């Protein structure tokens, strides 16, 4: 397909942002037009109907997706999201970002993503299990340890991965631990996986602070999204001496200039189900949190939260994208023009897929590593990726995001050209 036949980006949706990022870097690096056109389209996309029985005996039907963006460098890899905003375009964008991310940390995976358009808070645990097992059955021909390996993302967790692994294994007639990552250690999960994305974010923040000449103990941090990634990042950063001054979840946020205590906050959240109302802190909205006085801003929730409307008001010196796609294409330009140091998602949150890769390797070898070995190897890969991107950005006088895309897209393009075009 020729490039001009494909839709051109026009707005700030995740898919438009992902395409605009690819197009920009394709021009910068002089990417071969045929490879560029190929990479603009997902390799394949599956839309499934997910009917499941409610506890009251009625049937509910949700829509599910699994997209393979690229498998050129290896099996496709990417999370499963349960969220009301999930649609095909969002999943396509997330799958494309996974392709670049895996290439940047140089692990032999392509990119995939999946999800169901649903608010899981509306479901009982039994309904969640029935929906998950039906979804896993519907995408079964698409996935497998050599084909596509799902993992947790927003509103999915170890337990959901265990149901997916079980559903796949029952269908095959034998246990296949390598079909998903981010599963419990008791069925072949990896030590260190649950905190890996957050730990990777921490290593990246420390490297960025070092380059900016800022000490870990002198910085304040604001984190949007107090979930699996943001919650653990808050704890790790606090334990390392940073002042975590603001956090939020979907219900709203909190601010305390002297710093919040994540341990006390975790206890509060376990009972209240939200961070909102935590004593001794001022309430702030999610929008206000992004504009708060702080040194490091960590968006760790959803896409498109920093746009042309609020990018001028961001006060942080560093924006570390723990979430995928939190800054839109045009907003990124504004932040960079204002001298904000933005570490893009495809570098900043790549710790999760890196330890997922370790988990897959351990499952295939049936030989498991210590947590220390995992954390040490993770640190080495994260710091390696950060400095490779940082030095390349300096050499080419481009942004961290452009440098990251250049490296990631470049590795995928090289694999395409080496394999050749079939037939």
The footprint of ligand NAD (CB under 6 A) covers: 152-155, 197, 224-230, 248-250, 286, 300-302, 322-324, 349, 352
Q: Which residues pair with 248 in a beta bridge?
A: 224, 253
183 is catalytic: no
Within 229-306, strands assigned E span 243-249, 252-255, 282-284, 296-299
Which residue's CB comes closest to ligand NAD?
Answer: 227
CB of 248 to ligand NAD, least distance (A): 6
Q: Which is nearer to ligand NAD, 197 or 362 (CB)?
A: 197
Q: Are strands 252-255 and 282-284 parallel, antiparallel or unpaired?
A: antiparallel
Handedness of CA 167, 173, 177, 179 (dihedral sign): negative
Question: Considering 101, 113, 183, 269, which one is annotated as catalytic?
Answer: 113
Q: Which is nearer to ligand NAD, 13 or 349 (CB)?
A: 349
Q: Which is nearer to ligand NAD, 29 or 102 (CB)?
A: 102
CB of 115 to ligand NAD, least distance (A): 10
3-state secondary structure of 50: strand
Among 84, 147, 144, which residue's Cα sits nearest to residue 118? 84
CB of 93 to ligand NAD, least distance (A): 11
Q: Which is nearer to ligand NAD, 121 or 338 (CB)?
A: 121
Long-range contacts of 308-317 (CB under 8 A, 24+ apart): 308/12, 308/334, 311/335, 311/338, 312/338, 314/290, 314/338, 314/340, 315/291, 316/222, 316/340, 317/212, 317/214, 317/341
CB of 171 to ligand NAD, least distance (A): 26
**170: region left, alpha or beta (phi > 0 left; psi from -120 to 50 alpha):** alpha
CB of 101 to ligand NAD, least distance (A): 8
Q: Which is nearer to ligand NAD, 22 or 234 (CB)?
A: 234
What is 167-205 written as a DSSP string? HHHHHHTS--GGG-SS--GGGTPPTT-TTHHHHHHHHHH
List residues with catalytic annotation: 113
């Amino acid at each position: 397909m020729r490039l001009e036949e494909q839709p051109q980006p026009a707005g700030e949706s995740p898919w438009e942002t992902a395409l605009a990022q690819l197009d920009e870097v394709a021009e910068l690096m002089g990417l071969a037009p045929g490879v560029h056109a190929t990479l603009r389209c997902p390799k394949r996309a599956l839309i499934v109907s997910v009917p499941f029985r409610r506890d009251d005996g009625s049937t509910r039907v949700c829509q599910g997706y699994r997209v393979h963006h690229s498998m050129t460098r290896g099996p496709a890899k990417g999370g499963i999201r349960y969220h009301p905003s999930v649609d095909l375009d969002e999943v396509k964008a997330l799958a494309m970002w996974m392709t670049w991310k895996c290439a940047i940390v140089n692990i032999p995976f392509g990119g995939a993503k999946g999800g169901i358009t649903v608010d899981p808070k509306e479901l009982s645990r039994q309904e969640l299990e029935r929906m998950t097992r039906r979804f896993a059955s519907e995408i079964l021909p698409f996935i497998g340890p050599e084909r596509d390996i799902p993992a947790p993302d927003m509103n999915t967790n170890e337990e959901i991965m265990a149901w997916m692994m079980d559903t796949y294994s029952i269908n095959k007639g034998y246990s296949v631990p390598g079909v998903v990552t981010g599963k419990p250690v008791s069925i072949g999960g990896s030590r260190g996986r649950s905190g890996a994305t957050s730990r990777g974010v921490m290593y990246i923040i420390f490297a960025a602070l070092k380059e900016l000449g800022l000490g870990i103990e002198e910085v304040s941090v604001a984190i949007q999204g107090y979930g699996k990634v943001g919650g653990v990042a808050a704890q790790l950063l606090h334990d390392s001496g940073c002042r975590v001054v603001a956090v939020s979840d979907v219900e709203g946020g909190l601010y305390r200039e002297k710093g919040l205590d994540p341990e006390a906050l975790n206890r509060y959240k376990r009972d209240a189900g939200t961070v909102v109302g935590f004593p001794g802190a001022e309430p702030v909205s999610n929008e206000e949190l992004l504009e708060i006085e702080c040194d490091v801003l960590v968006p760790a929730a959803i896409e498109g939260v920093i746009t042309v409307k609020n990018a001028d008001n961001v006060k942080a010196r560093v924006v570390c994208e723990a979430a995928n796609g939190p800054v839109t294409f045009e907003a990124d330009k504004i932040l960079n023009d204002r001298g904000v140091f933005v570490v893009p998602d495809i570098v900043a949150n790549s710790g999760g897929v890196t330890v997922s890769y370790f988990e897959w390797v351990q499952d295939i070898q049936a030989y498991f590593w210590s947590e220390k070995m995992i954390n040490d190897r993770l640190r080495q890969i994260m710091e390696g990726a950060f400095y490779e991107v940082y030095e390349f950005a300096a050499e080419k006088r481009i942004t961290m995001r452009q440098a990251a895309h250049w490296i990631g897209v470049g590795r995928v393009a090289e694999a395409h050209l080496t394999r050749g075009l079939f037939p």
